[in-house]
Structure 1
Amino acid sequence: MIWLVLSWFILLIESMATEYQNQRPETDITVTWNIFVFASLAVFLVGMAMGAVEVLWLGKRFKRKAFWQKILYKMGFYLLFMLVINLVTFPIAASIELSSSILDAQVWHKFSNYIVSPTFLSTMVSLTFSIFVSLIYSGISEHLGHNVLLNFFSGKYHQPKEESRVFMFLDMKSSTSFAEQLGHKKYFRFLSDYYNQLSNDIIQYKGEVYQYVGDEIVVTWKREDGLQHHNCIRCFYAMKQSLQKKRNYFEETYGVVPSFRAGLHLGQVTTGEIGALKKEIFFTGDVLNVTARIQQLCKPLQQEIIISEELAEQLKSDGLRLKSLGNMELEGRKKPVELFAAQLV
């Protein structure tokens, strides 16, 4: 979307500067509706392709680099990529403009003029700007959290809103002994690898990381996203499987293998922007306290995952086995709460 909007903006500026006339027909493509549709489609598809490359491959390769290094290295890669795309799409656009075959000599004559013209340089500068804005957005979004930057831009939570949300409090087992065994520097790298290993599953199952609190992760879903296809439960088991696949890596690198327990609950929260020196999307409500208390019961009840009665009632039974653990008293709650162990089948 960034690419598409920027391309329209740049086209509008250039058209206004030339009074909507093609003043260099020997090198420039005359913009008609057919050309406009083709260019918009090409830009959108290229933006999608770059987004896929960023998320699935390139972003992971430079995950440990400093922010400026990420931008610099990725700029080089994407500029080379866009140079190739530019050289491929121009002859196609020229053939559409001239209503001729792409093999026509006129098309390639115009192409040869284009690559040595100021228009080519202007196009590459525009592409560089688009790449830079996209990477800045991606980088800041990665640091703030999934969808947080978009919410800030849209002003979605500028005024507090009531929402129904699912929360998961995920706590690492034996974290205190791990920290003592590894030392604080190595333990920091251990936590970083642990968090990185879980992030893809959280995104895949439509979750958002609300907070990292020491070795604990607080994940949240909008009600519909969390309940759909049991995403909140599937996310737990997907993360568990991801850590199992990396078992050998953690054993060889740190001598310990992380595992976790989780408590889940569904309820109403007030969501809004908060903070004077640093803005954050903030959740308040009893649901967070209850979720934390549920998670704390995992160890004494010898369960890896426990969910509340409110969440259990909303989850469809297909593909899910729920086992009642009885009514439990939670700190801060007057009435006992029925809890369930959840397992995918």
Structure 2
Amino acid sequence: MSNGTATFWVTIAAICAASGALHGILFYDGPSPIGIIYGTCIGVLVIAYERGVFLAGYSRRLRRLPSLAYLAAAEISMVVVILVAMALTGVVFWAFGTVHKTLLEAVTPKLHTTLFAVAASALIVTGLRVRDLIGSETFTNLILGRYHRPVSEERIFLFLDLVGSTAYAERHGDLAAQELLKAVFAAIAQPVRRYRGQIDDYVGDQVIVSWPIARGLDEARCVACVFAIRRSLAADRDQWIARFGLLPELRAALHGGSVVTAEVGVDRHKIAYFGDVMNATARLESLCRETGRPVLISDAVLARLPALPAGIDAEPLGSHRLRGRSETMVVHALAETAARETAGGRATAEAGLRRPVPGGTARPAMLGAKPAA
């Protein structure tokens, strides 16, 4: 449930409506339609400000202040936004004749109502920031207690690793490398949300994304997500080069299977995954270096996909013995197809994106692939 979805804003409106009803219960004879609408309007406007729907530039400037100054300015700004939202809502009610007050009375909030609005907004904003910190799906699972007891489930995992981050840190320093990682992680987030993935963890310069097996396989979301991320980075090539002097490159590995999912931790809780699938996906990502291919997928996932997204081909690389594992894994390289040779039916792509494997052909059952001649 990302900030831009209708579901997010419907949920926020429902929570704000509930706070309006609670205000009526606490301070009046009970909830009223006007109080509920009043609470909804004020709450949605306040959250829209907090989420950067308006005055986003102002919020970014506040974040550049020293910590204590930022906290003070942020709190004062939030109170001002609440007062303005209350005044605007009062004007609307007065204009439609919904309340029997003068205009001055309609725009002047009562002290207890202001304090309640500030407290309710603070609780909602805090909840949203915790949700942002640990991820929306993880936050929901923790609230519902879904993984209080370990659960065995099937998931698809995507390991993304930023190429050359260590060398970049050596040349430009750790602070500059952190800025690069922050920008790359931000660019990854939107495609992951779009394809309904879940960012589970950041480990150094690596991002771990996962899907429940059915969701990841449906419409080949797990594969589409990888190439949406790559296209997103490439589309902003000039900005990346101007800011960091390079276009970020990512190695990606897709694998899946049965894992045990559990809530762990005492002082700090998180959802963790246990099982061989996690180690195998990490080893598969390392295989990208050895094969020179930026995107690898295990046969365990590829064989279960109904079709690959249009314009994506899979080339078999055969069985590989991954480091630290006794069993071999059948591996395929994924790449976007720029052109296709007619002679021999071998798929080719633009230079640097994909190199054909001798004797290898894309699976004819996949969307966008043709049978080998």
Counterpart in the other structure of 1:153 = 143
| Code of the aligned partner of 2:117 | L
State the secondary structure of the residue aligned to 1:185: helix
Distance 1:113 1:52 in 2: 26
Change (3 A) 1:319 1:279: closer
Mapping of residues 93-172 of structure 1, within 5 Å: 95=98, 109-112=100-103, 114-115=105-106, 120-172=110-162
Matching residue within 309, 323, 337 for 1:331: 323
Higher relative contact order (CA 8 A, sep 6+): 1
Matching residue within 232, 246, 249 for 1:259: 249
Q: CA deviation at 1:55?
A: 4.3
Contact map agreement 1:209 1:217 (CA 8 A) in 2 = yes
State the secondary structure of the residue aligned to 2:255: strand
Mapping of residues 304-343 of structure 1, within 5 Å: 304-317=294-307, 319-320=309-310, 321-343=313-335
Change (3 A) 1:173 1:281: same
Of all paired residues, the percent bearing the same amino acid is 25
Q: CA deviation at 1:58?
A: 5.5
Distance 1:340 1:75 in 2: 52
Distance 2:101 2:54 in 1: 35
> CA offsets, 1:139-187, max 9 Å, x none?
2222223333332222222221122111111011122221211122211
Q: CA deviation at 1:334?
A: 4.0
Contact map agreement 1:71 1:132 (CA 8 A) in 2 = no
State the secondary structure of the residue aligned to 2:314: strand
> CA offsets, 1:258-309, max 9 Å, x none?
1101001111111112123322211111111111111111122222211111
Q: CA deviation at 1:250?
A: 2.6
Counterpart in the other structure of 1:10 = 23
Distance 1:147 1:326 in 2: 36
> CA offsets, 1:98-121, max 9 Å, x none?
xxxxxxxxx5x524474377x644
| Code of the aligned partner of 1:326 | G
**Which one has a larger percent helix, Structure 1 or Structure 2?**
1
Counterpart in the other structure of 2:359 = none
Runs (4 or more) in structure 1 with deviation over 6 Å come to none
State the secondary structure of the residue aligned to 1:325: strand
State the secondary structure of the residue aligned to 1:133: helix
Give the TM-score normalised by the residue count of structure 1.
0.78
Change (3 A) 1:73 1:323: farther
Contact map agreement 2:165 2:177 (CA 8 A) in 1 = no
| Code of the aligned partner of 1:14 | F
* Larger displacement relative to structure 2 (196-205 or 84-93): 84-93
Contact map agreement 1:171 1:260 (CA 8 A) in 2 = yes
> CA offsets, 1:193-242, max 9 Å, x none?
22122222222222222221111111112223322322222221222122
Unaligned runs of 5+ in 2: 1-13, 337-367, 369-373
Unaligned runs of 5+ in 1: 21-30, 96-106
Aligned residues: 315
Q: CA deviation at 1:53?
A: 5.7
Change (3 A) 1:210 1:87: same
| Code of the aligned partner of 1:186 | A
Distance 1:69 1:245 in 2: 38
